[in-house]
Structure 1
Amino acid sequence: MNSKLTAVALAAVVVAGAAVTAAPASAAAAAPTRCHTADLKAGFALGDDAKPEMGQSEKQTRAYVWFTNRSERTCTLSGFAGVDMVGAQKTDGTWSLVRSSRKPVKTTLEPGDTVDFGITLLPVAASTPQTEKFVPSKFLVTPPNETEHFTLKWPFGGQILKQDGATHPATYLDPVGL
């Protein structure tokens, strides 16, 4: 009878040991964590179909900023980037863009994957009085839920209707991934 108890106890130890060794394998399959600024690189989309139409002043246009996962791990982005436009004119200052009403989605980025977000702009004619236009020079772009930003030089020229104090300006940004 002792040998049966010993065999049962030994089997329980073996099963318990297998369960303990299985735990780390499930931890390796944990969901990816959010992307940090250091995991990413950023820039403006420069393709012909992605360039904003800054030479016209009849309608809104869009520019796109991309984030690429340059890390060796999978990570996620969800929400709105922070975007501060810095003006080229002394009177421009910095304009923090407001968010659209679109709902964010969670995007998973494998190493090397890219996701973007759109910025809607309302260009104005060059003849618009200086006090009514904002001339972009650079954009300070902060990934969602981060505090460090990328400094991106504005490559498209033109000027935007200055509405930095408006409640619903015609220049605003969408969430990452939309």
Structure 2
Amino acid sequence: MVYTPRSARHGALLVGTVAVLGLLTACGNSHDVHSNPPVTASGTAAPATDSTKSPASTTSAPASTPAGASASSPASKPTPTAGGGGGGGGTAPVPDSSRCHTSELSASVGRNDPGAGQENFPVVLTNKSGRTCTLHGYPGAAFVNGSGSQLGPDPRRESGSPTTITLKPGQSAWAGLTYSNPGVSGAETATPAALLVTPPNERDALKVAWSGGTVPVSGNSSSVFLSALSPGTAP
């Protein structure tokens, strides 16, 4: 048996211990390398939690953009279609720029066309201006005496479907003024000096001399009616 001095045995033990510690340290460092989290670069998507995927596969691809459009541009909106004044697609309102104004019109009352106990007069509006304009709806009317006081109530509107009438310079539109013959109806009467005619959507009236005789102003069957405007000067 070979004798080993105590100092030699102590040195060998120290060397072995250092070697074991070195191995343990190396193993610990290797574990730390694999456990460090990946670094997220500024401006990129966050890395996936699955460490088996490559960093490139964790970045979300941007949505496809149509050619010629910017990714940040809002979607194009449909051009609204033109529609009518109501939800059902009725006749569009007449713009103020195209409407015939009182100052652009002249008024007249045509020949009476009586029938079946009725008196029927065409009330005519004529475009005297140098531009094309439009009329839509019913005119207003009122009988007045020589001092300008109104005789009887305002005429009532007959049922109908008004249309927009385009008047070139010199063209006319007419509305029917109708009432029961006072001799038949027994209504109280008066003899007007004039008829005031107001174009649709206007405030100023046109004054027309009245030569149609007596008109009903009160009592039974004394109502006077106006129809919607139609193209021309008479039925």
Q: Same fold (TM over 0.5)?
A: yes
Alignment match, 1:150: 206
Q: For 1:92 and 1:122, locate their aligned partners in 2 and report how far apart those are by CA, in whole Å.
A: 19
Q: Give the C-alpha shift of residue 33 in structure 1.
A: 0.6
Alignment match, 1:15: none
Alignment match, 2:53: none
Alignment match, 1:161: 216
Tell me how many residue pairs correspond in the alignment.
Answer: 134
Q: For 1:61 and 1:113, locate their aligned partners in 2 and report how far apart those are by CA, in whole Å.
A: 25
CA RMSD of aligned residues (A): 3.1
The equivalences for 1:104-123 within 5 A come to 104-123=162-181
| Counterpart code for 1:162 | V
Q: For 1:92 and 1:148, locate their aligned partners in 2 and report how far apart those are by CA, in whole Å.
A: 15
Q: For 1:143 and 1:38, locate their aligned partners in 2 and report how far apart those are by CA, in whole Å.
A: 10
Gaps of 5+ in 2: 1-94
Q: With CA pairs under 8 Å and 6+ residues apart, which has the higher RCO, 1 or 2?
A: 1
Q: For 2:129 and 2:171, locate their aligned partners in 1 and report how far apart those are by CA, in whole Å.
A: 10
Task: Flag the 1:173–1:142 CA change in 2: closer, same or farther, 3 A.
Answer: same
Task: Flag the 1:63–1:82 CA change in 2: closer, same or farther, 3 A.
Answer: same
Alignment match, 1:67: 125
Whether 1:41 and 2:99 are equivalent positions in the alignment is no
| Counterpart code for 1:173 | L
Structure with max Cα Rg:
2
Q: Give the C-alpha shift of residue 163 in structure 1.
A: 3.9
What is the identity percentage for the equivalent residue pairs of Structure 1 and Structure 2? 30
Give the TM-score normalised by the residue count of structure 2: 0.50
Q: Secondary structure at the match of 1:38?
A: helix
Q: For 1:173 and 1:118, locate their aligned partners in 2 and report how far apart those are by CA, in whole Å.
A: 5
Gaps of 5+ in 1: 1-29
Give the TM-score normalised by the residue count of structure 1: 0.64
